[in-house]
Copies of this chain bind each other. A is one copy, B any other.
Amino acid sequence: MIRGQRRSDAPGMAVTRLMALAPLDGAALDALDQAMEDARAVRVRRDIITEGREIVQAQLLLSGWAARVRLLPDGRRQFLSFLLPGDLIGACDHPHALAVSTVVAMSDVLVCPLPQAAAGSPLHVAYAISRAMDEGHLLAQITRLGRLNAQERISDLLLELHERLTLNGSATGNGFDLPLTQETLADALGLTSVHVNRMLQQARREGDLQWRVGHVKLTDPAGLARKIGHLPVRVTAQ
């Protein structure tokens, strides 16, 4: 049991997400409950896993935001993807796996060991689907960076985050908490914070979104998605 932090209902979002991916049976829920007993708190800005180090234990993000990130020798930084409650961390199934990217906490987070799942079990299916969605998010990120302009990149990322947070029950209608600075957004979108700031102002002026520090509200997600040709990630038929 973690100290100084009650096992609140927040981690429920992680289970909500996994349930949305594949219907979990009692055994799976028990395994998750069990794993949560060994939850571990990681402070904002601390590494959860480190690039190039051996992965000793796959983990499940229970609450808070994390991000996969790469640092270049000269100090440039690139966020590869964001991880939300219910996302897997370091889940690969070969021996002596090295982390291919650092995972850093973007807020104070709670993680727990990822319960083992027998081949074919509901939990196993949920993991596979989760990994496939992760891959989908990476592909979306590549397309964003390669072929969208600044305005489109911002909208596209916010739409993705909104969809994902809706899936795990963290969004409130069209609004959601976004614990990211404009500089962080810039390092995710391949832009400078100055330009992100200008484009965000433009988006606000045009009525596409409302922005308070730590909170975003999209005026019309569906309309915005149509406007920029955004498609949600889908990895299974029904």
Contact = CB atoms under 8 A, between A and B. Distances in A.
Interface in A32-63: 52, 54
A139 interface: yes
Q: How many copies does the complex hold?
A: 2
A100 interface: yes
| Residues of A in contact with B, size category | 35 or more
A24 interface: no
Interface stretch (A65-73, A106-114, A175-183, A205-213): A65-73
Contact of A94 (B68, B80, B92, B236): B236
Interface stretch (A8-16, A127-135, A158-166, A193-201): A127-135
- Among A100, A135, A188: residue with most chain B CB under 10 A: A100
Nearest to A189: B146
A116 interface: no
Given A94-B125, A229-B73, A100 B143 contact: no
Interface of A: 52, 54, 68, 70, 72-74, 76-78, 80, 92-98, 100-101, 119, 125, 128-129, 131-132, 135-136, 138-139, 141-143, 145-147, 187-190, 229, 233-238
A146 B97 contact: no
